[in-house]
Amino acid sequence: MKIHYYLGWFNNLFPENLGRVLQEDITDRKSLAMISSNPSIYEDDGATERLWLDHANIMFDEYHLINYRVQKEDAQTIIQNASVIFLLGGNALEQNGFLVEYELSDSVKKSNAIVMGASAGAINMSAKWLCSKKFGFNVEESSVYNGIGLDNFSVLSHFDLENNIEMVQSELSPLSEEIDIYVSNKDCAVRVKEDKIDVLGDVFLISNSKIQKLDETL
Protein backbone atom coordinates (compact mmCIF):
# COMPACT_ATOMS: atom_id res chain seq x y z
CA MET A 1 0.00 0.00 0.00
CA LYS A 2 1.34 3.39 -1.04
CA ILE A 3 1.76 5.71 1.97
CA HIS A 4 3.64 9.00 1.74
CA TYR A 5 3.99 11.76 4.35
CA TYR A 6 4.96 15.30 3.30
CA LEU A 7 5.82 17.07 6.55
CA GLY A 8 6.63 20.63 7.54
CA TRP A 9 8.80 21.09 10.61
CA PHE A 10 7.84 20.34 14.20
CA ASN A 11 9.49 22.40 16.93
CA ASN A 12 7.44 20.69 19.64
CA LEU A 13 7.49 17.08 18.40
CA PHE A 14 4.65 15.40 16.49
CA PRO A 15 1.16 16.36 17.63
CA GLU A 16 -0.78 13.51 19.18
CA ASN A 17 -3.11 12.92 16.22
CA LEU A 18 -0.22 12.71 13.74
CA GLY A 19 1.68 10.34 16.05
CA ARG A 20 -1.37 8.11 16.31
CA VAL A 21 -1.85 7.90 12.53
CA LEU A 22 1.85 7.17 12.02
CA GLN A 23 1.71 4.38 14.60
CA GLU A 24 -1.20 2.82 12.72
CA ASP A 25 0.51 3.13 9.33
CA ILE A 26 4.03 2.04 10.33
CA THR A 27 3.54 -1.60 11.25
CA ASP A 28 6.86 -2.88 9.83
CA ARG A 29 9.65 -1.42 11.96
CA LYS A 30 12.68 -3.43 10.95
CA SER A 31 14.70 -0.68 9.29
CA LEU A 32 14.61 3.13 8.99
CA ALA A 33 16.62 4.63 6.12
CA MET A 34 17.29 8.36 6.49
CA ILE A 35 18.49 10.28 3.43
CA SER A 36 20.56 13.32 4.35
CA SER A 37 19.98 16.80 2.97
CA ASN A 38 23.47 17.82 4.07
CA PRO A 39 25.41 14.70 3.03
CA SER A 40 28.83 16.19 3.82
CA ILE A 41 27.84 17.00 7.42
CA TYR A 42 27.75 13.96 9.67
CA GLU A 43 27.26 15.23 13.21
CA ASP A 44 23.71 14.96 14.62
CA ASP A 45 22.21 14.64 11.14
CA GLY A 46 18.71 13.23 11.50
CA ALA A 47 18.69 13.53 15.30
CA THR A 48 15.65 15.82 15.36
CA GLU A 49 13.57 13.68 12.98
CA ARG A 50 14.50 10.57 14.93
CA LEU A 51 13.42 12.28 18.16
CA TRP A 52 10.00 12.96 16.64
CA LEU A 53 9.57 9.26 15.90
CA ASP A 54 10.94 8.16 19.27
CA HIS A 55 8.50 10.46 21.07
CA ALA A 56 5.63 8.94 19.04
CA ASN A 57 6.86 5.53 20.28
CA ILE A 58 7.92 4.47 16.79
CA MET A 59 11.28 2.70 17.08
CA PHE A 60 13.15 0.51 14.62
CA ASP A 61 15.47 -2.47 14.88
CA GLU A 62 17.99 -0.77 12.57
CA TYR A 63 18.77 2.86 11.76
CA HIS A 64 20.71 3.87 8.65
CA LEU A 65 21.82 7.37 7.64
CA ILE A 66 22.63 7.71 3.94
CA ASN A 67 25.28 10.36 3.26
CA TYR A 68 28.73 10.51 1.65
CA ARG A 69 30.10 8.11 4.26
CA VAL A 70 27.96 5.39 2.69
CA GLN A 71 29.01 3.85 -0.61
CA LYS A 72 26.56 4.29 -3.46
CA GLU A 73 25.93 0.54 -3.81
CA ASP A 74 25.36 0.19 -0.06
CA ALA A 75 22.90 3.08 -0.15
CA GLN A 76 20.86 1.26 -2.78
CA THR A 77 20.75 -1.86 -0.61
CA ILE A 78 19.69 0.12 2.47
CA ILE A 79 16.81 1.66 0.51
CA GLN A 80 15.72 -1.72 -0.85
CA ASN A 81 15.59 -3.22 2.65
CA ALA A 82 13.97 -0.26 4.42
CA SER A 83 10.62 -0.41 6.19
CA VAL A 84 10.44 3.39 6.23
CA ILE A 85 12.42 5.90 4.16
CA PHE A 86 12.78 9.38 5.67
CA LEU A 87 14.13 12.27 3.58
CA LEU A 88 15.57 14.64 6.16
CA GLY A 89 15.06 18.38 6.39
CA GLY A 90 17.78 20.92 5.66
CA ASN A 91 19.10 21.94 2.26
CA ALA A 92 16.72 21.00 -0.57
CA LEU A 93 19.25 21.74 -3.33
CA GLU A 94 22.00 19.67 -1.68
CA GLN A 95 19.60 16.79 -1.16
CA ASN A 96 18.34 16.99 -4.74
CA GLY A 97 21.89 16.79 -6.07
CA PHE A 98 22.68 13.90 -3.74
CA LEU A 99 19.61 11.96 -4.92
CA VAL A 100 20.78 12.39 -8.51
CA GLU A 101 24.44 11.57 -7.79
CA TYR A 102 23.60 8.42 -5.81
CA GLU A 103 20.76 7.45 -8.20
CA LEU A 104 18.37 7.04 -5.28
CA SER A 105 15.13 8.36 -6.77
CA ASP A 106 14.21 5.22 -8.71
CA SER A 107 15.06 3.03 -5.72
CA VAL A 108 12.77 5.10 -3.50
CA LYS A 109 9.95 5.01 -6.07
CA LYS A 110 10.21 1.23 -6.46
CA SER A 111 10.35 0.60 -2.72
CA ASN A 112 7.33 -0.76 -0.84
CA ALA A 113 8.42 1.25 2.22
CA ILE A 114 6.47 4.12 3.71
CA VAL A 115 8.19 7.31 2.53
CA MET A 116 8.36 10.46 4.66
CA GLY A 117 10.00 13.82 4.13
CA ALA A 118 10.36 16.86 6.36
CA SER A 119 10.70 20.37 4.93
CA ALA A 120 13.45 19.97 2.28
CA GLY A 121 12.76 16.23 2.21
CA ALA A 122 9.06 16.80 1.50
CA ILE A 123 9.95 19.21 -1.30
CA ASN A 124 12.19 16.60 -2.93
CA MET A 125 9.46 13.95 -2.75
CA SER A 126 7.51 16.17 -5.18
CA ALA A 127 7.17 15.49 -8.88
CA LYS A 128 8.80 18.88 -9.44
CA TRP A 129 9.37 22.05 -7.42
CA LEU A 130 10.24 25.69 -7.91
CA CYS A 131 13.60 26.83 -6.59
CA SER A 132 13.19 30.57 -6.09
CA LYS A 133 15.18 33.26 -4.31
CA LYS A 134 11.86 34.51 -2.93
CA PHE A 135 11.52 31.21 -1.04
CA GLY A 136 14.91 31.63 0.59
CA PHE A 137 17.03 29.62 -1.82
CA ASN A 138 20.51 30.95 -2.53
CA VAL A 139 20.00 31.34 -6.28
CA GLU A 140 19.86 34.29 -8.65
CA GLU A 141 17.32 32.87 -11.09
CA SER A 142 14.26 30.73 -10.42
CA SER A 143 14.23 27.26 -11.92
CA VAL A 144 12.13 24.12 -11.68
CA TYR A 145 13.76 20.96 -10.32
CA ASN A 146 12.58 17.40 -10.72
CA GLY A 147 11.95 15.60 -7.45
CA ILE A 148 11.49 11.90 -6.83
CA GLY A 149 7.93 12.09 -8.14
CA LEU A 150 6.17 9.84 -5.65
CA ASP A 151 2.91 11.65 -6.39
CA ASN A 152 1.97 13.90 -9.27
CA PHE A 153 2.01 17.19 -7.42
CA SER A 154 4.45 19.77 -6.06
CA VAL A 155 5.14 20.76 -2.45
CA LEU A 156 6.41 23.94 -0.82
CA SER A 157 6.90 22.89 2.77
CA HIS A 158 7.90 24.78 5.93
CA PHE A 159 7.49 28.27 4.46
CA ASP A 160 5.97 31.31 6.18
CA LEU A 161 2.92 31.28 3.96
CA GLU A 162 0.64 33.28 6.25
CA ASN A 163 2.71 36.47 5.87
CA ASN A 164 3.53 35.95 2.20
CA ILE A 165 0.40 34.44 0.71
CA GLU A 166 0.06 36.84 -2.25
CA MET A 167 3.74 36.53 -3.17
CA VAL A 168 3.61 32.72 -2.93
CA GLN A 169 0.49 32.54 -5.09
CA SER A 170 2.05 34.85 -7.70
CA GLU A 171 5.41 33.05 -7.72
CA LEU A 172 3.88 29.60 -7.99
CA SER A 173 1.12 30.54 -10.43
CA PRO A 174 2.92 29.41 -13.63
CA LEU A 175 3.83 26.00 -12.17
CA SER A 176 0.30 25.60 -10.78
CA GLU A 177 -1.07 25.75 -14.31
CA GLU A 178 0.86 22.53 -14.94
CA ILE A 179 0.65 20.70 -11.61
CA ASP A 180 -1.16 21.04 -8.26
CA ILE A 181 0.95 22.54 -5.46
CA TYR A 182 0.48 21.92 -1.74
CA VAL A 183 1.89 24.72 0.42
CA SER A 184 2.33 24.50 4.19
CA ASN A 185 4.25 26.00 7.08
CA LYS A 186 5.64 24.25 10.16
CA ASP A 187 3.53 21.80 12.20
CA CYS A 188 1.79 20.58 9.04
CA ALA A 189 1.49 17.34 7.15
CA VAL A 190 0.05 16.00 3.90
CA ARG A 191 -0.54 12.25 3.88
CA VAL A 192 -1.17 10.25 0.71
CA LYS A 193 -2.57 6.79 1.39
CA GLU A 194 -3.37 4.98 -1.84
CA ASP A 195 -5.24 7.76 -3.69
CA LYS A 196 -6.62 9.56 -0.62
CA ILE A 197 -5.01 12.82 0.51
CA ASP A 198 -5.34 13.98 4.14
CA VAL A 199 -3.94 17.15 5.68
CA LEU A 200 -2.93 18.29 9.15
CA GLY A 201 -2.52 21.95 10.07
CA ASP A 202 -2.69 24.95 7.73
CA VAL A 203 -2.25 23.53 4.25
CA PHE A 204 -3.15 25.38 1.06
CA LEU A 205 -3.68 24.08 -2.46
CA ILE A 206 -2.67 26.18 -5.46
CA SER A 207 -4.19 24.87 -8.68
CA ASN A 208 -4.53 26.72 -11.98
CA SER A 209 -3.32 29.90 -10.24
CA LYS A 210 -6.14 29.75 -7.64
CA ILE A 211 -5.40 29.20 -3.95
CA GLN A 212 -7.62 27.62 -1.31
CA LYS A 213 -7.14 26.57 2.29
CA LEU A 214 -7.83 22.88 2.81
CA ASP A 215 -9.92 21.46 5.62
CA GLU A 216 -7.94 19.52 8.19
CA THR A 217 -8.70 15.79 7.94
CA LEU A 218 -6.06 14.10 10.12
- At 105, which CATH number? 3.40.50.880
**How far is 102 from 29, CA to CA, in rounded Å?**
25
Q: How confident is the model at residue 180 (pLDDT cuts 50, 70, 90)?
A: very high
Nearest to 155 by CA among 134, 116, 181, 176: 181
Average pLDDT taken over every residue of the chain: 95
- Could you tell me if residue 151 is inside a domain? yes
- Could you tell me if residue 70 is inside a domain? yes
Q: How confident is the model at residue 162 (pLDDT cuts 50, 70, 90)?
A: confident
**Cβ of 30: how many Cβ atoms within 10 Å?**
11
Nearest to 5 by CA among 80, 74, 58: 58
Looking at residue 144, its pLDDT comes to 98
In sequence order, the 6+-apart residues with CB closer than 8 A to the CB of 177 are 208, 209
CA 73 to chain centre: 23
In the chain, how many domains are there?
A: 1
- The SS3 of residue 22 is helix
- Could you tell me if residue 197 is inside a domain? yes
- Could you tell me if residue 218 is inside a domain? no
* 163-173: average pLDDT: 93
Looking at residue 163, its pLDDT comes to 84
* 74-89: average pLDDT: 98
In angstroms, how far apart are the furthest CA atoms of the chain? 46
* 51-79: average pLDDT: 97
Whole-prediction pTM: 0.96
- Could you tell me if residue 85 is inside a domain? yes
Q: Residue 64 sits in which domain range?
A: 3-213
Spatial contact of 185 and 200, defined as CB atoms under 8 Å apart: no
- Could you tell me if residue 23 is inside a domain? yes
- Could you tell me if residue 11 is inside a domain? yes
- Could you tell me if residue 88 is inside a domain? yes
